[in-house]
Amino acid sequence: MIKVLTVVGARPQFIKAAAISRAIRQEYSSRINEVLLHTGQHYDPEMNQVFFEELGLPQEDYNLNVGSGTHAVQTAAIMVGIEEILLKEKPDCLLLYGDTNSTLAGAVAASKLHIPIVHVEGGVRSYNKGMPEEVNRVMCDHLSTLIFVPTKSGMESLRHEGFKELNQPPFTPDNPKVYHCGDIMYDNSLLLAEVAKRKSTILDLHNLRNKKFALVTMHRPENVDDRETLGNLFRTFNDISIEEKIEVIVPLHPRTKKVFDESVSNEIKDKVRSNPLLKIIPPVSFLDITALEMEAEIVLTDSGGVQKEAYYFKKPCVIMMKKTAWVELEQSGTAVVTSNQPEKIRTAFKSLMAKKNKMTFPEIFGDGKASAFICERMIENFSTTK
């Protein structure tokens, strides 16, 4: 039996961790003892509790309740909290997901205690260190012992950074193992798409059944923290909805809501509120977002997870980022990277809609069995090093 301490903190991590926790409960409970640590980075019920309930993620064993703060304040508070629990629990490894401040804090705390780090969604690079996520991913990969990489481009990035695929065990942070294993988020979407169709009521709730609609999500600082930029984005969605005669539905991240409510001009707010085609709603559950993604005509997003899910469900995607770490999406021709510039967004929207029916979506995210693969490799590596 190995003991794995899992760290989650932000919405996408609850979703990713649910896939591995499910595999542990169903197949590996006699070989993996998982202890779940929630940092408290996300705390609103619709950014947090809803995922535990809906995805069957067990209630956390520890919650650091760090809440929001500047990067240093938040990351430092998480480091202090995780260190204490690592010392108490003495796990065989620390399991970290993705690229948030919770990921970085876990990596720094564990590495100084010589506790091996397992990084799921390693190797992902946007080559834009202006994004906090890029800094967090690079740091975490370089402190990890096992790195699970979702895509071929991720493997290539790690090769460029000096990681060697042929390293032999025992693996350590100086002799890490890199595995190409597919995307853990694909496990969830494959498994839960049918459940979402059956159980989600979101389409009826917003009167979207049999209607053409676009799904929008955004929360990146460069898009939502500045009132002018956010206002221009809403003006763009407003114009698109009217010109293209399409409904636009926007489940609003709390970061975005705060700026919209407190700072965006009344002119834009009035436009949005008086347009029946443009609907802002609270953040939705995983089954609800899955139902929306499956039925949307097109997705516009700056979310890493949502842009991949659009692809899983064969939807065109406008990626409102300067660069995406999921380069395969751009290369496939089904997604266009636009940054937050209104003209680029409108042009991409039109061109993607025009060629939508001719698009193909080759399999680039694996076979939906990444969770089992990761569990097997953790058992193999950490049972034998004892």
Chain contacts with ligand UDP (rule: CB under 6 A): 11-12, 15, 217, 219, 251, 283-286, 289, 303-306, 309
- Residue 191 to residue 152: CA distance in whole angstroms: 23
Cβ at position 34, least distance to ligand UDP in Å: 20
Q: Distance between CA 179 and CA 374 in Å, rounded?
A: 9
Q: Given the complex with ligand UD1, which of 197 and 258 has the nearer CB atom?
A: 258
Q: How far is the CB of 100 from ligand UD1 (least distance, A)?
A: 3
Give per-residue burial for 35-46: e unless 16+ CB within 10 Å, then b: bbbbbbbbbeee
Active site residue 180: no
Q: Which of 2, 5, 21 is nearest to 184 (CA)?
A: 21
Q: Which stretch binds ligand UD1 (CB under 6 A): 9-17, 50-58, 330-338, 376-384?
A: 9-17
Amino acid present at 65: N
157 token code pair? 């990035």
Q: How many residues bind ligand UD1 (CB under 6 A)?
A: 18
Query: Using the rule CB under 6 A, which residue among 4, 7, 36, 47 binds ligand UD1?
Result: 47
Query: Toward ligand UD1, which CB reaches closer, 189 or 238?
Result: 189
By a kind-dependent CB cut-off of 5 to 8 A, residue 41 interacts, out of ligand UDP, ligand UD1, none, with ligand UD1
Pairing of strands 213-217, 298-301: parallel
Please choose which of ligand UD1, ligand UDP, none residue 217 contacts, taking the beta carbon within 5 to 8 angstroms, the exact cut-off set by kind.
Answer: ligand UDP
Which of ligand UDP, ligand UD1, none does 196 bind, CB closer than 5 to 8 A by kind? none
Binding segment for ligand UD1 among 4-12, 153-161, 168-176, 322-330 (CB under 6 A)?
4-12
Looking at 38, 177, 219, 279, which residue binds ligand UD1 (CB under 6 A)?
219
Residue from 99, 121, 134, 244 that binds ligand UD1 (CB under 6 A)? 99
132 binding partner (options ligand UDP, ligand UD1, none; Cβ < 5 to 8 Å by kind): ligand UD1
Q: In terms of C-beta distances under 8 Å and separation of at least 24 residues, what long-range contacts does 20-23 make, across chains too?
A: 20/95, 20/120, 20/184, 20/371, 20/374, 20/375, 21/56, 21/57, 21/58, 22/55, 22/56, 22/371, 23/371, 23/372, 23/374, 23/375
**Closest approach of Cβ 350 to ligand UD1, in Å?**
28
Q: How far is CA 68 from CA 60, 63, 73, 255, 342, in A?
A: 19, 14, 9, 10, 30
* Least CB distance to ligand UDP at residue 29 (A): 25
The C-alpha atoms of residue 335 and residue 310 are separated, in whole angstroms, by: 9
CB of 11 to ligand UD1, least distance (A): 5
Applying CB under 6 A, among 21, 100, 241, 285 the residue interacting with ligand UD1 is: 100
Among 2, 5, 7, 12, binds ligand UD1 (CB under 6 A): 12
Instruction: Between 70 and 210, name the residue whose CB sits nearer to ligand UD1.
Output: 70
C-alpha to C-alpha distance for 366 and 106, rounded to whole angstroms: 27
Least separation in angstroms between residue 43's CB and ligand UD1 is: 4
Residue 283 Cβ, how far from ligand UDP at the closest point, in Å?
Answer: 4
Query: Are residues 316 and 356 in contact, defined by beta-carbon separation less than 8 angstroms?
Result: yes
Binding string, residues 116-155; x marks residues near ligand UD1 by CB under 6 A = ----------------xx----------------------
Backbone dihedral angles phi then psi of residue 78, each to the nearest 5 degrees: -70, -40
Residue 333 found at the interface with ligand UD1 (CB under 6 A): no
- Site residues for ligand UD1 per CB under 6 A: 10-12, 41-44, 47, 68, 99-101, 132-133, 219, 254-255, 258
Catalytic residue numbers read 219
